[in-house]
Amino acid sequence: MSIIDWIVLTTTLVAIVVYGVWKGRGSHDMQGYLLAGREMRWTTITLSIMATQASAITFLSTPGQAYADGMRFVQFYLGLPLAMVILSATAVPIYHRLKVFTAYEYLESRFDLKTRALAAFLFLIQRGLACGFTIFAPSLVLSVLFGWNIYITNLVIGILVIIYTTSGGTRAVSWTQFQQMLVITGGMVGAFLVILYLLPDTVSFTDAFTVAGRLGRLNAIDFSFDLSNRYNIWSGLIGGFFLALSYFGTDQSQVQRYLTGKSVTHSRMGLLANGMVKVPMQFFILLIGAMVFVFYLFVAPPLFFNPVVMEKVQQGPLAPEYSALQEEYQSAFMERRVAIEMMLMHEETGNTALAQRAEERMHRANDRITRYRQAATDIIRDTDPGADTNDVNYIFLTFVIHFLPVGLVGLVIAAIFSASMSSTSSELNALASTTVVDIIHRLTGRRGTDRQQVRLSRVVTVFWGGLAILFAQYANRMGTLVEAINILGSLFYGTILGIFLVAFYLKRVRGAAAFYAAIVAEVAVLACFLFTDISFLWYNVVGCAVVIGLSLPVNALLQRAGR
Amino acid sequence: MKSDPRPPVGEEPAEGPPPFLKTWPRLYALVLGELALCIVLFYIFTRAFA
């Protein structure tokens, strides 16, 4: 990175931290520290919700996903607006009426202490581990591409977040997220415009879309119904709806964002605006990836985008095979490029037959390129069985480093840091709230003075921050564990959502019935995970449906048994 | 001061109309309408460039 990029990056990060500390001053009681005094406007809430959900890996991985697999990932978000409407109409007024600090407090008032403790405990386990991953994932990509020390990168991200989250609590988190979203938006829009500018003069905007579409990168909607297909409109609308309902309605890192609203109106508006903006935003980020793909149709991309893994192969026993593959890859790339140029030229002159022939050539060359990339991953795996053969997270940043102008590179890296910090700050803030309110205060029964409560919350925030950094430092050596943690989250969301939906809508059901139904649901989800090929999005539906479907009959049985 | 800082539970929260469209059901319809529009546009987009 150039000195100007470093100036842009450090100035942006320091400004965000200073701004967060400054805006967060004056939080002297729990309501001020954990809920920003319940005085946030809906515009701030919307940006805070979006910044919490969009971690750094979203901005690194999503464009790469469009590059490798097309835009069908956008369907993952189609259930989100539906969930925002349901939560606005039902959960928001309930949370406001009960004046809760955490979502899990509601479960005790509705059911009993054990159900509240179960939900809070599951949240702490999931988020406590995921928080380390939120720091680690972008650090890994940045350290690989820039040669930075991953441990120092983890420390920088973690310590910056801890400073303002601990000092200013939720108010600092929400206000910095406002700034962070501006940085992220600026970085992504800037990158998109530069990509379009960098396309060859002979390739118009329409040409870029035409080529991307014919090579399967603009496949935004797929109506086919297939349970094992991760992204189609049905898994997005149904599975994505349940996932969003669970994440936004029961995960404290999100619930805490809209609990800061100065009224029900502001909390609702925050969620609904998120519902309106999220899908187009994801579409735009994926479109950036599709345009990066088009760019690399005219400029030779590396065979594999992770330079550290590639270097290891080039120094290993299979280096000759890899070199031969690279030569084949280059020749296929040139063939595809020529075919594309011919196709566009013949289409412009109206020569359909020749255009069609060129298109067939383009597809044949593209198939060869796909095969060579697959062969490259085979060689990587043969060289090092533990190597990461997925290079999707490295595609966008490789483009940024090599082709964006000085200054914009610093802004995009600042955007990635911002995204990581915004998600981490919400997670630390929520972990501290749940630990203090649902565990320490509830189990000890002692609250202390306002000053003591805020001091305790600060200590707990530092504790979780330290733990997250520690986990991030070790995550590098626990590749499969990181994957397991991601799966772990999807295994519990449906069941927790089921508990909340029963609490909201099935007024007759008591705590014991909900608790036992949740345990059966969890077994059913685990069975799906262990014995079927069902995509993970459907676990949310299964877990939730079993809790709801069983809680009524179990409740009737328990009542008959006199319990 | 030793206290739970929250106001009394059970008070009906201040539930005003949305800042535009006057009623919440209309705003919900707007969100769902936009979703439907996105799906239609994405479908046209997919078909147009396939």
**CB-closest option in B2, B28, B48 to A89:** B28
Please report, for residues A33, A428, A555, the alpha-carbon distance to residue A252 in angstroms, rounded to integers and kept in the order given: 15, 10, 28
Which region among A76-80, A259-263, A413-417, B8-12 has the lowest average model confidence (pLDDT)?
Answer: B8-12
Calculate how close chain A gets to B21, using CA atoms only, in Å. 12
Mean pLDDT of chain A: 87
Mind listing the pLDDT tens digit for each residue in A244-258? 888 899 889 999 999
Amino acid A21 reads V
Q: Nearest chain A residue to B8 by CA: give it.
A: A99
Pick the residue of A73, A87, A99 with the most B CBs within 10 A to test the interface with B by mutation. A99
8 Å CB contact of B31 and A85: yes
For domain A3-297+400-477, which CATH number applies: 3.90.950.20, 1.20.1730.10, 3.40.50.300, 3.30.390.30? 1.20.1730.10
- DSSP for A73-136? GGGGGTTHHHHHHHHHHTHHHHHHHHT-SSHHHHHHHHS-HHHHHHHHHHHHHHHHHHHHHHHH
What percentage of chain A carries pLDDT values higher than 70?
A: 97
8 Å CB contact of B13 and A263: yes
The mean pLDDT value for A135-140 works out to: 84
Mind listing the pLDDT tens digit for each residue in A79-111? 999 999 999 998 999 998 888 899 999 999 888
Q: Where are the domains of chain B?
A: 20-50
Q: In A, which residues are within 8 Å of B4 by CB distance?
A: 447
Say how many CA atoms lie within 13 Å of A38 toward its Cβ. 19
Amino acid A411 reads L
The mean pLDDT value for A260-270 works out to: 93
Q: Where are the domains of chain A?
A: 3-297+400-477, 307-390
**CB-closest option in B24, B42, B49 to A212:** B49
8 Å CB contact of A88 and B28: yes
Q: In B, which residues are within 8 Å of A97 by CB distance?
A: 9-13
Residue A24 CA to residue A175 CA, distance in Å, equals 8
**Residue from A207, A222, A206 nearest A359 by CA:** A207
Residue A33 CA to residue A455 CA, distance in Å, equals 10
8 Å CB contact of A265 and B39: no
Calculate how close chain A gets to B33, using CA atoms only, in Å. 10
Q: Do you know the residue count of chain A?
A: 563
The mean pLDDT value for A23-44 works out to: 83
What pLDDT score does A484 carry? 55
Question: Using 50, 70 and 90 to split pLDDT, how confident is the model at B5?
Answer: very low
Calculate how close chain A gets to B50, using CA atoms only, in Å. 5
8 Å CB contact of B38 and A279: yes
8 Å CB contact of A264 and B24: no
Alpha helices in chain B (DSSP H): 24-49
Given a cut of 60, whether residue B1 has pLDDT beyond it is: no
8 Å CB contact of B9 and A268: no
Given a cut of 60, whether residue A190 has pLDDT beyond it is: yes
8 Å CB contact of A276 and B6: no
Amino acid A173 reads V
**CB-closest option in B5, B10, B48 to A97:** B10
Question: Using 50, 70 and 90 to split pLDDT, how confident is the model at A539?
Answer: confident
8 Å CB contact of B28 and A450: no
Mind listing the pLDDT tens digit for each residue in A206-234? 899 999 999 989 988 888 877 666 788 88
First to last CA, chain B: 67
Cα A271 vs. chain centroid, distance in angstroms?
Answer: 17
Size of interface A-B (CB pairs under 8 A): 105
